[in-house]
Amino acid sequence: MTDTIPCSATEVHILSLLETIKQQQDQLVAKVNYLSSRLNSTPGPDVGMPDNIQFPLEQLEAVEAFEMFLKEPSNGPARQSVISSLASIGGQDVKRVTWNILARLFTDEVSHQINWKGVNNKKSFSRMATKILLFSAVRKNTVTRSATDAEVTKHAIRWFNLAADRATRRRVPPQATQTE
């Protein structure tokens, strides 16, 4: 049993045009979201940041220093400044914004020493103050304002899982092709 509705050729043509307009509108919405996320893409100054903390964090000692900085209650205004700076990095969706922020925070070498739960003698991101910073920065971004903890968590877990691949890919020089 098929539920077809009889249409004239004109009605079929109009429906086809409407479908094309809908696709174009979807593309325009995606582009507007991307452009609005890039509007304030220049990070602000690291107001109140200690001199020994520079992004991306290149060593676990720097990660520990940043964690101590985040946990210090008197650093609240500077923490908000860092969140605003990270939120302005941009991206097209929750995944890209999350990954872009994590890439700004950690080098691939450091991210290879961190995972979500801290298994295999790695640092547990789920217990770090930086996790809360990440969630806040993702939600402060205009494109990802309504992101859930579950969405950000899923993308953060995947980003850390791929750290070994990123670190290996950047260390190994491209293979020369043999022409003989």
**Looking at the domain assignment, is residue 104 inside a domain?**
yes
**Looking at the domain assignment, is residue 27 inside a domain?**
no
For 53, the 3-state DSSP assignment is coil
Residue 174 pLDDT > 80: no
What distance, in Å, lies between the first and last C-alpha atoms of the chain? 63
**Among 92, 88, 97, which residue's Cα sits nearest to residue 39?**
88
pLDDT digits (tens, 9 = 90+) for 73-97: 988 888 888 998 899 888 899 999 9
Model-wide pTM > 0.75 = no
- Say if CB 126 and CB 116 are below 8 A apart: yes
**Looking at the domain assignment, is residue 176 inside a domain?**
no
Query: Domain span at residue 114?
Result: 60-169
The one-character DSSP state at 2 is -
pLDDT digits (tens, 9 = 90+) for 11-39: 889 989 999 999 999 888 877 777 766 66
Domain count, the chain: 1
Tokens 């100054």, residue located: 45
